[in-house]
Structure 1
Amino acid sequence: MQSSLIEVRTGKKEVVHDITPQCAAFARDAGGDGLLHVFVPHATAGIAIIELGAGSDDDLLTALGDLLPADDRWQHAHGTRGHGRSHVMPALLAPYATVPVLGGELALGTWQSIAFVDLNVDNPDRQVRLSFLEG
C-alpha cells in the first residue's frame, strides 16, 4: 500500500476545501487500478464527495450550521463558541472516503469532487492521509 500526507490550510473560517487535484495526482502517481482511501486524522473534520463550485459547498455549510449551531449548547466547550459541534460533525460527515481508481484516474462522477470539510476555526493547519490499495 502506498500512503502520503497532504497539508490543508483552512484559515479561520468554516470551509469546504477541494482536495480533488491532490487526490488525482496521488492516484496518477500510484498508477493502475485500485482504491484511493482518503482519511482525516483529526477529531473535528470530515470528507465529502460532493459537487463543488455551484453553491453546493455553501449549502453544505448552511446545512451543517442548521444541524450543529455554533452556540453554547455543547458540553465540549473549550475553544471558540460552539466548538463542541466540530467534534460531533464527524459522526454525520465521516472522516474518510474511498474512491475507485481505474488506470490511475479517479472514477468519480461528472460533477463529483473530494472535499475536506472543517467547522473548527481554532486550527487552520490540517492534514489528510491518502492511501492507495492496488487491486
Structure 2
Amino acid sequence: MRQTSAILTVATPGQGLHECTDQVAAFVADSGMAEGLLTLFVRHTSASLLIQENAAPAARRDLERYFARIAPESAQYEHDDEGPDDMPAHLRSALTATSLSIPVMGGRMALGTWQGIYLFEHRHHGHRRRIAAHLIGE
C-alpha cells in the first residue's frame, strides 16, 4: 500500500462553479497508482467541492441560482465581517461538501461520463483556494 498527497491550488475569478477535474486527474496520473481511494478536502470555510454535471453549462447556472435563493445576501446576518457575501458563503459551504472521496480504478478516477469535480466559490471576489489531495492505493 502506498500513499501520496499534495496541495492543489484553484484560482477563482469569483462566485460560481469552477471545474478542476483536469488538475485532479493529473495528480492521480502522476501518482502512478492503479487502484485506490482519492480524498479531496477544501481548506476554506467559504468554498466547497462538488461532483456535478460537466457537459451542460445550464446545470451549473441553475445550481448557482438555487444556492443564491436558499442562502441570499441579507443585512439580517450578524456575521458580516468581510462584507455582505460573508455569511451566505458560509451557509452555502455548510449545505454542500468540504471533502470528496473518489475511487481510483485503472489509474483513473472512477467518475461517470458526465461528472466533473468543481470548486464552488461562494465569495464575490476571486481567491486562490487550496485543496488537500490524498491518494492511498497501489
TM-score by length of 2: 0.90
* Structure showing the higher strand proportion among its residues: 2
Query: Aligned AA for 1:23?
Result: V
The match for 2:18 is 17
**Separation in 1, partners of 2:67, 2:75:** 16
The C-alpha deviation readout for 1:34-93, integer Å capped at 9, x for no partner, is: 011111010111110000241111111111101100221222111221311111222210
The match for 2:6 is 4
Query: Aligned AA for 2:36?
Result: G
1:45 aligns with 2:41: no
Count the aligned residue pairs: 134
Aligned counterpart for 2:128 among listed residues 108, 118, 125? 125
Stretches of structure 1 lacking an aligned partner (at least 5 in a row): none
Contact 1:33 1:134 (C-alpha < 8 Å) held by counterparts: yes
Deviation at 1:122, TM superposition (A): 4.2
The match for 2:37 is 35
- Across the aligned residues of Structure 1 and Structure 2, the Cα RMSD in angstroms comes to 1.4
Moved over 4 A (4+): none
TM-score by length of 1: 0.92
**SS where residue 73 of structure 1 aligns?**
coil
Deviation at 1:103, TM superposition (A): 1.7
Contact 2:80 2:86 (C-alpha < 8 Å) held by counterparts: yes
- Distance change (3 Å), C-alpha of 1:52 and 1:73: farther
Q: Percent identity?
A: 30
Query: Aligned AA for 2:5?
Result: S
